Amino acid sequence: MKRKAWLAGIGLVGLLLVGCVQGHVYYEKGNQLVERREWQKALDEYNRALASDSRLTGAYTKRGLCFQRLGRYDEALADYNKAVELAPGNEQSYINRALFFDDKGDHRQLALADLSKALELNPNSAYAYNLRGNVHLKLLQFEKAIEDYTASIKINPTDYVPHCGRGDAYLSLTDYLKAIENFDKAISIDNKQALPYSGRGYAHLKLGHCKEAFKDCQEAVRLDAFLAASYLRRGLVYKECDGDYPKAIVDFTKAIELEPKYFYAFHERGDAYQDIGELQKALKDYDETLQLNPAYANAWISRGRLHIKLGNSARGFADLDKGAELLARSPYVQASRALAYREAKKYKEALAGLNLAIQLNPKIADHYYQRGYTHVLMGRDELALPDFDKALQLDPRARFVYTARADLKTRGQKYSSALQDYASAIKIEPTFAEAFIMRADLHKTIGNRDKSIADYRAALKTTNQPALVKRAKDGLTSLGTKP
């Protein structure tokens, strides 16, 4: 009897071993299919793997990924949960589930919890710190993102990726010089990667360095034709530097084709459509943005502006308030809502919002500029000038503030001082066509005909924007000179 029992035990062990071995064979076949993005075929192999060995943790994780890519989210989550249950001491199980929650968009707090658990299990995981930084960034928690990226860099200083993430966080904080420092560092680590060029290009764009911005974005596209961020940022250069909305929209669309859940690209394309009056297309893009990331406050602000334009004022103001509620302590979101109120000609509400933004962070130059411009719209030039002065004190390279202040000085007949401000703006950005045109207008007013002609011609050499080209040509015609 003992011999029979022993033989039976041997047989059972043999069967289990065969099952385990066969399970791994199916598992490896599934992995090969995943690499080829053949999700359904890979799913079939993982099903066979788990039928052979129900405790194969990796198969649950990979099958979860297949379910996720096939849009079967409940089944995906069940598999990720099973992987955590089978390996509660393995940080990778929590990381995998966190990536799922992050991808879902409306579960990012759960992603943070899983990544924090992974870091509790392995405090030296540079990867987990970087991923948590990414989630904080998407939730617009920029200071926390910087802390996580810095921790990742401390553990692994030779990885360019967290330098890019930290650069992106500084971009969101409008500290463009620090952003460039981080992207420069990333490029010094690996100059064959597109991501840091893309980020640095955007920083240059926000500083008004259009040539540098376009050069970096072009290099990013050349290095990696499949990186969505490069097209997004090149699209912004087309829009903001050239006023070329068709090219911008093509690039935003390309970014979405490459990354269908890239909510930033939907939002920017929505803004572009709104700018050119294609309002229904804009609304569709904003709706898609908020479906992908309901926590993205800027999209609530943009959609609110659009609803007001469409005559849906109640819904528009509700969206504006929702955006501000999501990030009540964010000066950027409060300022964005204020500008939307200003667009709706609700100047008192706009001023209150900008006051709050400045109270939350008194070191952001643009908010003083926007408050000053709001004062101008309210006919209070005397209150605008100190705000423009403060903005330039905080950011001496803010070229638009120089032109705004020069315009105020022109109205006050302080012509010499106004000309100095225009010169400062042009020195910062030698292709600043609008500054040339405004200075040309002033030269014409005070009788400097030759200087006025020279500035109108300089503007024509530096822009293709139809509105600016028309202004320059009309200026030359008014002086009796052919464009």
pLDDT tens digit sequence for 20-50: 566 678 778 878 887 888 989 988 888 887 8
Q: Are 450 and 416 in contact (CB under 8 A)?
A: no
Instruction: Using a pLDDT cut of 90, give the percent of the chain over it.
Output: 65
Tell me, what DSSP letter sits at residue 482? -
Top pLDDT among 251 and 96 is at 251
- Mean pLDDT on 123-127: 94
- Measured in degrees and rounded to the nearest 5, phi and psi for residue 276 equal -100, 10
Residues 80 and 111: their CA atoms lie apart, in Å, by 12
- Whole-angstrom CA distances from 468 to 199, 406, 424, 461 are 28, 18, 20, 11
139-190: per-residue pLDDT in tens? 878 999 999 999 999 999 999 999 999 999 999 888 899 999 999 999 999 9
Please check the confidence at residue 75 and state whether its pLDDT lies above 50. Answer: yes
- Measured in degrees and rounded to the nearest 5, phi and psi for residue 481 equal -120, 140
pTM above 0.85, yes or no: no
Residues 6+ apart with CB under 8 A from 357: 331, 332, 334, 335, 338, 364, 367
> Cα-atom radius of gyration of the chain, to the nearest Å?
28
Range(s) within the chain of domains with CATH label 1.25.40.10: 328-397, 406-483
Residue 389: closest CA among 380, 378, 398: 398
Residues 5 and 24: their CA atoms lie apart, in Å, by 29
Q: Are 364 and 333 in contact (CB under 8 A)?
A: no
Q: What is the fold of 406-483?
A: 1.25.40
Domain 328-397: which CATH class?
mainly alpha
Residue 439: closest CA among 392, 402, 469: 402
Please check the confidence at residue 258 and state whether its pLDDT lies above 60. Answer: yes
Q: What is the pLDDT of residue 2?
A: 47
Q: Are 373 and 404 in contact (CB under 8 A)?
A: yes
Please check the confidence at residue 16 and state whether its pLDDT lies above 70. Answer: no
Please check the confidence at residue 13 and state whether its pLDDT lies above 60. Answer: no
At CA 173, angle to CA 172 and CA 178, rounded to 5? 100
- pLDDT band, residue 12 (cuts 50/70/90): very low
Q: What is the pLDDT of residue 20?
A: 54
Q: Are 174 and 364 in contact (CB under 8 A)?
A: yes
Q: Are 347 and 325 in contact (CB under 8 A)?
A: no
Residues 364 and 369: their CA atoms lie apart, in Å, by 9
- Mean pLDDT on 229-238: 96
